[in-house]
A and B are shown apart, each in its own frame.
Chain A
Amino acid sequence: MPQNLLEIKHLKKYFRIKNGFIRKTFRYIKAVDDVSLAIAKKETLGLVGESGSGKTTLARMILKLLETTKDSVLFEGKDITMLKRTDLKEFKKNTNMVFQDPASSLDPRKTIREILKRSLEVYHYPRDTMDDLIYEMLSKVELSVDFADRYPNQLSGGQQQRVAIARAIILKPKFIILDEPTSALDISVQAQILNLLLDLQEKENLTYLFITHDLNIVRYISDRIGVMYLGALMEIGPTEDIFLNPRHPYTQALMDSSPIISPEARNRKRFELNGEIESMINTPAGCRLHRRCPFVKEICTVDIPKMTEIGADHFVACHFVNEIDFNLFKN
C-alpha cells in the first residue's frame, strides 16, 4: 500500500447566508459536508460531479485558498489548517493548481517569462538561474524557447494551458489540482494536454486531483474516482470498478446519462433519477439523494448513510447498497 500524500478527514465548508434586515436569520449552504478521502503518492484521483456538487470548493480548501469550517486536511501527515508561516510557505510550494480557463488565469499584461518568473521570485531563487529554469519548463510542456517573450493573447488556448501547467510545476511541487483543465479546449488539443499531464506525472512524480464533469476524460486519466453530489461524497473506488460496477444510484444515473462515444451504445437501457439537482440551501435531511432516488425508504429520509466498503478500496454511501437492483428502473 503506497503512502498517502494527502488525507482529508470529515472536511466541511458551510457558507452562511443572511436573510432579513432587522431581524436577521442565518442559513447555511453546506458546500462540502463531511468529506473524507485520501490520495496516495503518484496517484490520480478523479473527482466527478455536476455543477454545485462542491468539487471546486473541496479543491480550494485542500490548497488553503479557502478556510475550512471543520476538521483537517493532512498533507504528508501534517495538518495544513494548523501550519505556521514558514511551513505554510513550504506547503504552498509543494502544491499548485491549474484552472479551466487559461486566458483568465494568466496576466494579460505580462510576458510568459514574467508570469513564470513570479513564483521563482517569491521563493528567492538565484536571479541568474531563473532564465534557464524557465526555458527548461517551457521545453517540459513542449513549447519552444521563443514563447518566453510573448504575451498570453498571442497564444492559442492549448498553448496558454501549457504555460499554466509550466507555472504550476516550476517550483517542483508534489501535488497539483487540475480543475477542468481541458474543458475549454478543442478535442485535438485536449488529447495533447491530457497526454502531457500523464507524461509529466511520470517524469516529475506528481500526484493529481483531477476535477471534471466529463466521464470519458476521467476514465482515461484517473486511477481512482470519487463521485460527489450536493457537497457529499457518494462513492469512491478504483476507476474501472466505478465504471463497470457503479453501486450508488447517483453514480449509476451519472454513468447512464453521460454520452458514450459509440453508435452501438445509443439504445442502451438507462437508469434515471427523478427531477433535477436540488438547491444547496435546503439540502435534504438524511441521504441527499432521497427525494430523487427510486429506491428510497424511511431510513433514507432520516439517517445520513455511512461509507461502507463493498469491494477492494471501493466505498459507497448508501443504506441499501447490497439490496438495490438498477435493472428494475432502467428504461
Chain B
Amino acid sequence: MRTLLDVKNLSIDYKTSKGIVNAIKDVTFTIREKEIFALVGESGCGKSTIAFALMRLLSKNGSIANGSIVFNGKEVIRMTEKEMADFRGKEIGMIFQNPMDSLNPVMTVGKQVLESILIDKIPKQVAWEKVIKIFEDVRIPDARERIKSYPFELSGGMRQRAMISMMISRKPTLLIADEPTTALDVTIQAQILKVIKRLKDEFKTSVLLITHDFGVVAETADRIGVMYAGNLVEMGSLEDIFNRASHPYTKLLMKALPTISKKEGRLVTIPGMVPNLINLPEGCRFSNRCPNKMDICSTATPRLKEYTDGHYCACHLLEV
C-alpha cells in the first residue's frame, strides 16, 4: 500500500527552566493509506508530542530539532503558516481525549460541524444535509434532532461522535486520535472504536491512534509502534508486537498486562520507573531498567532496524 505519512529521524526539543529536554529522539515511522497505526507507550513517552508535531502545533517552548515529516509528498516542516492553516483539518484531522475541551459550549453541535463544511463554500441547505449525513455515519441516533443539541446536553460518547463528525466533515486522509476513548466507559468505548474502524473501511481514512491502553490497540490497530522515553523502540504488525515482541521493554510490558487471574501467578513488573527526560541514562534509554543489559547498552544508542519483514526493533541484544 502507498505511504501516506513518512516521518524520518524526528527529534523534538523543549526548552525548560531546567535546560533543554530532548522529548523525541530520532523517531522514524510511516503510516500507509487505509491503515490504523497505533503509537503506544506510558505517560511522558512522547506519543502526543509526535501528534502535535505532525500538526505543527507544538507549544511555544517546543521545536523540531531535526528530521522530516513528509505527508502525501509534501514536507510539513517547511510549510508556511498559511499553508498549514489549510493543511490542518483538510489533510489531517485530530480528536482528543476530552471532547468537551474541544467543542464550543455555547453553539449547537450541528452548527459547529456546519461551520467546518461551509469552509468549502457550498449552499447552507446542502451543508445541513451533509451534517445530518455525517451524524448518521458516526451512528448518532436521531441525527435530525441531535444537530440542535448543545455539547452539555450530550453524553460523553455522543460528544466524541460529534467531534469525529467535525473532523471527517472535511474528509481528511489522516485522522489523529489522541486517547479518544480514555474518558469513556467500556461499552461506549467499543462503539467509538467501531466508528473509527468504519472510517478506515468505508471512507479510506488512515488513523494514527495514540493510546496507553493495549486492549484498545489489540482491538483496532493494524500496525503498532511502541515508545519509551522519547524513542521508538519497536514497530511491527499487531501479531509482531503481541505475539513476537523482541524488545525487552515490549516483552516486559506484555507480561505486566493483567491477562491472567491471580491463581495462575503474579504479573511481571518492570523494576524502577520511566527516567526523567532531563536526566536520561547514557546509551539506550531503557538500559537502567533492562534485565538483559550489556556493557554496550550504557555507551551506544541502539538504532531502529528491520529484522524480519516489517518488524523493527532498536536493541543491541538483537545485533549480537
Q: Which residues of A contact B (CB under 8 A)?
A: 50-51, 156, 158, 186-192, 194-195, 198, 213-217, 219-221, 239-240, 253-254, 256-263, 265-266, 270, 272-273, 275-277
Say whether B294 faces chain A, with CB atoms less than 8 Å apart: no
List the B side residues contacting A272 at CB < 8 Å.
Answer: 190
A266 to B193, CA, bound (A): 12
**A-B pair number, CB within 8 angstroms:** 117
Are A156 and B273 in contact, with the CB atoms below 8 A?
A: yes
Q: Shortest Cβ distance from A314 into chain B, in angstroms? A: 16
A270 to B253, CA, bound (A): 27
Q: Shortest Cβ distance from B59 into chain A, in angstroms? A: 22
Are B218 and A258 in contact, with the CB atoms below 8 A?
A: no
Say whether B155 faces chain A, with CB atoms less than 8 Å apart: yes
Say whether B296 faces chain A, with CB atoms less than 8 Å apart: no
A-B contact pairs, 5 of them (CB 8 A): A50-B187, A191-B257, A254-B187, A259-B190, A262-B218
Enumerate B21-58 residues with CB–CB distance to A below 8 Å: 42-43
Q: Which residues of B contact A (CB under 8 A)?
A: 42-43, 141, 155, 157-158, 185-191, 193, 212-216, 218-219, 238-239, 242-243, 252-253, 256-262, 266-270, 273-274
Are A260 and B185 in contact, with the CB atoms below 8 A?
A: no
A266 to B186, CA, bound (A): 15
List the B side residues contacting A266 at CB < 8 Å.
Answer: 218-219
List the B side residues contacting A188 at CB < 8 Å.
Answer: 42, 252-253, 256, 269-270, 273-274
A52 (CB) vs chain B CBs: closest residue: B185
Are B218 and A191 in contact, with the CB atoms below 8 A?
A: no
Q: Shortest Cβ distance from A192 into chain B, in angstroms? A: 5
List the B side residues contacting A198 at CB < 8 Å.
Answer: 262, 266
Are B258 and A257 in contact, with the CB atoms below 8 A?
A: no
List the B side residues contacting A219 at CB < 8 Å.
Answer: 258, 260-261
Seed contacts A186-B212, A191-B269; 17 additional CB < 8 Å A-B pairs: A188-B256, A188-B269, A188-B273, A188-B274, A194-B267, A195-B266, A195-B269, A220-B267, A221-B258, A256-B190, A258-B186, A259-B189, A262-B259, A263-B238, A266-B219, A273-B187, A277-B187
A254 to B190, CA, bound (A): 10
Are B216 and A259 in contact, with the CB atoms below 8 A?
A: yes
Are B239 and A216 in contact, with the CB atoms below 8 A?
A: no
A37 to B292, CA, bound (A): 48
Do A220 and B261 form a contact, CB below 8 Å, given A186-B274, A254-B187? yes
A274 (CB) vs chain B CBs: closest residue: B141
Residue from B157, B187, B188, B193 having most chain A Cβ neighbours under 10 A = B187
A158 (CB) vs chain B CBs: closest residue: B273
Do A190 and B256 form a contact, CB below 8 Å, given A259-B213, A260-B219? yes
